[in-house]
């Protein structure tokens, strides 16, 4: 049985300035916060206490 291939994983983007939950996106993405206009990237995003990854092709969350 072939092992299921793991696609790219999305991470949750949270504004580090106002704490607003923005969206699920790939770590390479940049999302502009609608509240304070800050560009949130994988480098400056506020990380949740438990990092959760969401496969692009699945609704199922993966916990590490
Ligand atoms: Zn913000």
The number of folded domains in the chain is 1
Region at 34 (left for phi over 0; alpha for psi -120 to 50; beta for the rest) = alpha
Are 34 and 21 in contact, with CB atoms under 8 Å apart? no
| pLDDT score recorded for residue 52 | 84
| pLDDT score recorded for residue 48 | 82
* Domain membership of residue 44 as a residue range: 9-63
- The CA 34 to ligand 1 mean position distance, Å, reads 7
- The CA 25 to ligand 1 mean position distance, Å, reads 16
- The CA 4 to ligand 1 mean position distance, Å, reads 37
Write down the number of H helices and E strands in the chain.
0, 6
- The CA 31 to ligand 1 mean position distance, Å, reads 10
Asked if residue 53 belongs to a domain, the reply is yes
- The CA 2 to ligand 1 mean position distance, Å, reads 43
Look up the pTM and report it: 0.73
Asked if residue 18 belongs to a domain, the reply is yes
- The one-digit pLDDT tens for each residue of the chain (64 residues) are 666 677 889 999 999 999 999 999 999 999 999 999 999 999 999 988 888 888 887 666 655 5
Range 18-27 contact pairs with CB under 8 angstroms and sequence separation of 24 or more? 19/46, 24/54, 26/56
| pLDDT score recorded for residue 53 | 87
């Amino acid at each position: 049985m072939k092992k299921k291939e793991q696609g790219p994983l999305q991470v949750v983007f949270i504004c580090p300035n106002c704490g607003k939950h923005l969206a699920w996106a790939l770590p390479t993405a940049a999302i502009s916060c609608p509240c304070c206009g800050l560009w949130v990237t994988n480098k400056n995003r506020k990380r949740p206490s438990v990092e959760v990854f969401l496969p692009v092709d699945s609704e199922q969350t993966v916990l590490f």
